[in-house]
Amino acid sequence: MKVTLSFEESSTCDVSIMVDALRASTTITLGLDKFKRIIPCFTPEEALKIKNKIGGTVAGERMGKQLEGFDIGNSPSQIMNLKTPDDTLILTTSNGTRILENMDSRVLVGSMVNARAAGLKGIRLADTHIDVVMAGVRGEFAIEDFLASGEILYWINRNLKTCQLSEYAKSAILASRNYESVKEAFLSSRTGARLVELGFKEDVELSSLKNITDNVAIYHDNELTLYI
């Protein structure tokens, strides 16, 4: 199995694991405890249009801030505390939902909170190639995505008998091994520091937790659902 790490765009038509650790991937992953499906939208206007048509909970942010008129932000802690009868979450974010639009592969969603499960389910789904794809921040590298990808890649490498691992992927694995440093990096990263400043420190700390869920979302027909 070929295993690679990419930025923004996938290098395979087989299986990609999209990583936007702060916060879209974490919100999606934990959101599957509350919702049967999650519809990613690429603009706030599209999200509100879908809500008006089918109902559901609408969540979203730009530059870390909750969008006006939305039920909640792109916040994993808000998702965990949410009580709703809705079975659909409509989500728009700055980075993660944008990355999904351009992928031609079968796409799973990975994060630090489901790294082990994302890696193992990626192995099960893939034929010849798994590419872990970092979303980044507005076209720039994000250390939290690199570290969360490293944790996912660690579990892929550990559980594959034959693994052709790219050197970029090997670097991410090595960087992710000191967990105390990883947690500090989440808080002090460009995105992490901004979220703390906006009052979302709980989201950053939650997003840095390792392997607290086996939920893994799969993207199909413009919807995210639980991959069983």
- Chain segment 118-157, per-residue pLDDT in tens: 999 999 999 999 999 999 998 899 999 999 999 999 999 9
Quick one: 2-226 is in which CATH superfamily?
A: ComB-like (3.90.1560.10)
Confidence of residue 98 (pLDDT cuts 50, 70, 90): confident
* In the predicted structure, residue 196 carries a pLDDT above the cut 90: yes
pTM for the model stands at: 0.96
Query: Kind and range of the H or E element at 38?
Result: strand 37-41
pLDDT at 102: 83
Q: How confident is the model at residue 96 (pLDDT cuts 50, 70, 90)?
A: confident
**What's the pLDDT score for residue 161?**
87
Q: Which of 214, 191, 193, 200 is nearest to 77 (CA)?
A: 200
DSSP 160: -
**CA dihedral of 226, 152, 164, 127, whole degrees rounded to 10:** 0
- Give bridge partners of residue 133 from the DSSP assignment: 6, 18
What pLDDT score does 143 carry?
98
Mean pLDDT score, 57-84: 94
- Say whether pLDDT at 201 is over 80: yes
Domain residue extents for the chain = 2-226
pLDDT at 200: 96
Q: What is the pLDDT of residue 5?
A: 98
Q: Say how far apart CA 194 and CA 125 lie, in whole Å.
A: 36
